[in-house]
Amino acid sequence: MLKQVLAVLVLAGVMEGASIEKARMLNIHGLQYAAKQELMDVIYGASGAETKADAYYYLGNIALTERKVTAAISTSNASA
């Protein structure tokens, strides 16, 4: 039973990381809108605090790339 619980927790962590990785890949290929949606899913989903912080970081980076400085600052403040 304990092994099953640990396996589920490990897989959940992998799935969270996959969402951020997916967002990064989408962003690299010019799909910023889809990347932002993926990151917001991480932020408002059942992700851990560290994963959410990473999502806020990447969301802020996308905002800076789009020259949306106010949005980048707001995102930075939200992650604190």
| Residue 28 near residue 36, CB atoms below 8 Å | no
Residue 32 is given by DSSP the state H
According to the model, what pLDDT value does residue 5 have?
A: 45
Q: Is the pLDDT of residue 3 over 80?
A: no
Q: Which residue has the higher pLDDT, 67 or 17?
A: 67
What span, in angstroms and rounded, lies between the C-alpha atoms of 80 and 12? 24
According to the model, what pLDDT value does residue 66 have?
A: 92
Question: What pTM did the predictor assign?
Answer: 0.71
pLDDT digits (tens, 9 = 90+) for 12-58: 554 556 799 999 999 999 999 999 999 999 999 988 999 999 999 99
Give the range of the structural domain holding residue 27, as residue numbers without chain letter.
2-79
Q: Is the pLDDT of residue 69 over 60?
A: yes
Give the CA distances from residue 41 to residues 4, 17, 49, in Å, rounded to whole numbers and listed in that order: 26, 12, 14
Listed in order, strand segments (DSSP E) in 1-80 are none
